[in-house]
Amino acid sequence: MVDTPPGETYAEIAARHGRSEPTVRNQWARHPDWPAPLPHKRGRFLVFDPAAVDTFVTAHVDRQAAELEPRRLYTAREIETLTGITAATIRADRSRGRWPAPDDDSNRAHRWYGTTITKALADRRAYRKSDETTGRT
């Protein structure tokens, strides 16, 4: 029996976190805080410590949705402060149909209820956890 060296390849990391291999290789692994590869390879593939990868994902990829008051109206700047999604991203996502229309646009200020924001964040990939039954993230 051949012992498999410890660690995970990009493909294994991607499968475990429900992302594509190019996302892991071309986005995550280019981040300055991405863990260094282990000193050995598996064939021609780099391998990484799963615990170090999990630490990176927790710190830089998984975002926890902010606690928002359901019936309070929030501006894009307030959403940015609470969630980290910039007002510019909200505007861009609105123009592409990926962010809901404001619940209130009186006085030229666009504002969304906490419930609307929570649903919009749940629909964003970075805010969902893996669902074992559907295989979705």
Distance in angstroms (rounded) separating the CA atoms of residues 114 and 68:
5
**Quick check: 136 pLDDT over 50?**
no
Q: Given the DSSP bridges, would you call strands 45-46 and 73-75 parallel, antiparallel or unpaired?
A: unpaired
**Quick check: 134 pLDDT over 60?**
no
Q: What is the pLDDT of residues 50-93, one digit of tens each?
A: 999 999 998 888 766 678 999 999 999 999 888 878 899 999 99
Of 23, 38, 60, the residue at which a domain comes to its end is 60
**Quick check: 122 pLDDT over 60?**
yes
Other residues' Cβ atoms within 10 Å of the Cβ of residue 48: 21
**Quick check: 133 pLDDT over 60?**
no
Residue 132: pLDDT band (50, 70, 90) is very low
In a domain, 82, yes or no: yes
* 109-113 LR contacts (CB < 8 Å, sep 24+): 109/75, 110/75, 110/76, 111/73, 111/74, 111/75, 112/73, 112/74, 112/79, 113/70, 113/71, 113/72, 113/73, 113/74
The least confident of 7-11, 18-22, 64-68 is 64-68
Backbone φ/ψ region at 109: left (φ over 0), alpha (ψ -120 to 50), beta: beta
pLDDT of residue 1: 57
In a domain, 135, yes or no: no
In a domain, 4, yes or no: no
CB contact burial 95-122 (16+ within 10 A = b; e otherwise): eeeebbebeeeeeeebbbbbebbbebbe
In a domain, 20, yes or no: yes
pLDDT of residue 11: 95
Residues 77 and 49 reside in one and the same domain? no
pLDDT of residue 65: 60
In a domain, 87, yes or no: yes
Distance in angstroms (rounded) separating the CA atoms of residues 37 and 2:
22
Looking at the structure of the chain, the number of domains it has is: 2
Residues 77 and 115 reside in one and the same domain? yes
Q: Which residues contact 135 (CB under 8 A, 6 or more apart)?
A: 18
**Quick check: 112 pLDDT over 80?**
yes
pLDDT of residue 41: 92
In a domain, 23, yes or no: yes
Residues 92 and 114 reside in one and the same domain? yes
More confident residue, 122 or 76: 76
Residues 91 and 52 reside in one and the same domain? no
Residue 91, domain extent: 73-127
Residues 47 and 85 reside in one and the same domain? no
